[in-house]
Amino acid sequence: MDLTNMQVSHKKFGIGTVEEHDFEVITVKFANETKKFQYPLAFERFLELLDAAHSRELKEELEMKKEEIRNDEMKKTAERLLEIAEEVRPKPVRDINKSKDILRIHQTCFDFMIDYQKEHKDFYFVPRKVNNSNRLNDGYYFIGNDNYLMISFWNGGDGKEKIHNLNFGITESGDCFLEISSRDSEKKADLLRELVRILEEKNHYKFDEIKVNKWRLDYDASLPYLDVLECFILNEKAVIDEYLRKHKDAEIGIADQKMHDKYVQRILNM
């Protein structure tokens, strides 16, 4: 409802006229000064609309706004509880068989992509960058744990989730997934949300938003993971590369020779 030119009453400033009214703020000119108020919440405590014909409509807008605020607060509380649950969740006891499975996948994927590079000179990928606890020496060439690994072909990370913005993942059982995440930057999240939409339209599948600004696509579990990885490189990766070249403001770089020399060559020299 537009309140422009309508009269309102304030307990301190008296009678005033609404000079401007946008979506969330109204500007009221009183006898001696002009004030801005949050709309419509100011009408709950500070202001009163003198036009009785519009009072009911204003009351309905106020109730809708309060309900919206309550829903937002409940959503934020639920998200925080999930984050706390993840932080305090006990770490599982290490499964030796899973370790063997995931290490085999690390080695197989690394060897596959090194061979792929020999025929595709402009192909690069991003392995684990930091050798914490000598994980590289143990054969964990990509980020992850004994349950999964994540391969990226781009240079950009989600600081809140501590993962790449764009990840091709494989579980210890060989199931593949694609995760796109930007929980630490709304600007980047807006661009990645558009990328998700483009991938859905081009490939006719549906991502799940597993957290706010974090999307996941699970591939057919019946397919061998190397086949899925190769198809991903030929299809989804090509779409993502094209999108990132057009949207430099996403600040996600495509892996290049410099990254290969710094991170991949280190593994090859071990």
My answer on whether 152 and 37 are in the same domain is no
Q: What pLDDT, on a 0 to 100 scale, did the predictor assign at position 79?
A: 76
Same domain, 30 and 100: no
Looking at the fold, whether 158 and 81 belong to one and the same domain comes out as: no
Domain count, the chain: 2
Is 47 a domain residue?
A: yes
Shared domain for 128 and 219, answered yes or no, is yes
DSSP state of 152: B
Cβ-based neighbour number of residue 215 at 10 Å: 22
29 lies in some domain:
yes
Question: Quick one: pLDDT at residue 112?
Answer: 97
**Final residue before a domain boundary, out of 66, 88, 110:** 88
Could you say which of 44, 60, 88 is where a domain stops? 88
**pLDDT for residue 46:** 84
Q: Map tokens 């240079």 to a residue.
A: 155
Model pTM score: 0.64
Give the per-residue pLDDT at 56: 83
Determine, yes or no, domain membership for 112.
yes
The 3-state DSSP class for residue 58 equals helix
**Which residues lie closer than 8 Å to 56 by C-beta, 6 or more apart?**
none
The answer as to whether 254 is a domain residue is yes
Same domain, 141 and 173: yes
Residue 185 located in a structural domain: yes
73 shares a domain with 131: no
Residues 218 and 240 in one domain: yes
What is the reported pLDDT for 62? 84
Output the CA torsion sign for 215, 95, 221, 109: positive
* Residue pair 252/165 in contact by the 8 Å Cβ criterion: yes
What domain range is 61 assigned to? 7-88
43 and 169 assigned to the same domain = no
Residue 2 belongs to some domain of the structure: no
Residue 114 maps to a domain: yes
pLDDT at 96: 54
The pLDDT profile of the chain, 270 residues, written as one tens digit per residue, is 788 999 999 988 999 999 998 878 999 999 999 999 988 888 888 889 898 888 888 888 888 888 887 887 777 777 777 777 666 666 555 455 667 899 999 999 999 999 999 999 899 999 999 998 999 999 999 999 999 999 999 999 999 999 999 999 999 999 999 999 999 999 999 999 999 999 999 888 899 999 999 999 999 999 999 999 999 999 999 999 999 999 999 999 999 999 999 999 999 998
Q: In one letter, which amino acid is 159?
A: G
User: Residue 90 burial by CB count (10 A; 0-12/13-18/19+): exposed, middle or buried?
Assistant: exposed
Which pLDDT value is given to residue 58? 85
Domain boundary among 34, 55, 88: 88
Q: In this predicted structure, what is the pLDDT of residue 95?
A: 55
Are residues 131 and 257 located together in one domain of the fold? yes
